[in-house]
């Protein structure tokens, strides 16, 4: 036998020398834990996105509706008003009831400059817009400030029981620049 060749002998394998299977580590820095957290984060984002889209889809079937108060209201009887400007409907209907000798009319409380609500100054007997200084007399006709024309008047009639019925959606205007004057039209005032 050649000297270089050695007979095969069974070697004893020790547990330290044997190749070991990979040990799973549960430490927060191990790649498996990081990958699991990354997958969970991605799936959470996907389901969140789909959930928000589902809510937007369902919202489509419930349209947004603007519920406004009715524009027609009863203002009582002519005898309920004394001479001058009455402010009882300013908050609820945005208008003033004005009674003068021989007639009664309703002014819509909106400045013709930018749409602000003017204040009634009883000591000066004028309407004064606090935003830009427009001033109106007790009939709603402008005389100072940037307002281009008088305030609008609302449609007013007497019903069969002699109650005043006001419609704020139908208005009468006076515009000297355009040569329009609807303040004396039927419906712009009632005889009182």
Residue in this structure with the two tokens 């984002």, named with its chain if needed: 45
Element (H, E) at 15: none
Neighbours of 148 (CB within 10 A): 12
Q: Tell me 18's DSSP state.
A: S
pLDDT tens figures, 43-60: 999 999 999 999 999 988
Element (H, E) at 175: strand 174-175
Which residue in 75, 76, 70, 85 sits closest to 121, CA to CA? Answer: 85
- Assess contact for 89 and 101: CB atoms under 8 A: no
Ordered by start, the domain boundaries in the chain are 29-67, 72-191
pLDDT tens figures, 85-140: 998 988 888 899 999 998 999 999 888 888 888 888 889 888 988 888 889 988 88
pLDDT at 18: 53
What sections of 60-181 are H helices per DSSP? 90-93
Three-state secondary structure of 35-78: HHHHHHHHHHHHHHHHHHHHHHHHHCCCCCCCCCCCCEEEEEEH
Which residue in 123, 154, 121, 152 sits closest to 135, CA to CA? Answer: 121
pLDDT tens figures, 136-183: 988 888 888 888 889 999 999 999 998 999 998 898 888 888 788 888
Kindly indicate the confidence band of residue 26, based on its pLDDT and cuts at 50, 70 and 90.
low
Query: CA 148, CA 111: separation in Å to the nearest integer?
Result: 9
Query: CA 64, CA 154: separation in Å to the nearest integer?
Result: 29
Contacts by 64-71 with C-beta closer than 8 Å and gap 24+? 69/93, 71/167, 71/168, 71/169
pTM: 0.64
The three-class DSSP label of residue 83 is coil
Which residue in 119, 77, 121 sits closest to 99, CA to CA? Answer: 77
At the fourth CATH level, the homologous superfamily of domain 72-191 is Rieske [2Fe-2S] iron-sulphur domain (2.102.10.10)
């Amino acid at each position: 036998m050649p000297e270089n060749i050695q007979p095969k002998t069974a070697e004893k394998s020790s547990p330290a020398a044997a190749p070991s299977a990979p040990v799973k580590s549960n430490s927060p820095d191990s790649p498996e834990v990081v990958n699991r957290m990354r997958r969970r984060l991605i799936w959470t984002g996907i389901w969140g996105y789909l959930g928000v889209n589902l809510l937007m889809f369902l919202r489509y079937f419930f349209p947004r509706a603007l519920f406004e108060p009715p524009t027609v209201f009863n203002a009582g009887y002519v005898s309920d008003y004394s001479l001058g400007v009455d402010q009882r409907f300013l908050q609820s209907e945005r208008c003033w009831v004005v009674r003068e000798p021989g007639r009664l009319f309703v002014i819509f409380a909106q400045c013709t400059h930018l749409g602000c609500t003017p204040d009634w100054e009883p000591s000066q007997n004028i309407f004064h817009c606090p935003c830009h200084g427009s001033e109106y007399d007790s009939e709603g006709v402008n005389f100072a400030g940037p307002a281009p024309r008088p305030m609008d008047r609302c449609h007013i009639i007497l019903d069969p029981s002699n109650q005043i019925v006001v419609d704020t959606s139908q208005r009468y205007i006076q515009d000297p620049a355009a040569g329009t004057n609807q303040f004396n039209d039927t419906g712009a005032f009632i005889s009182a």
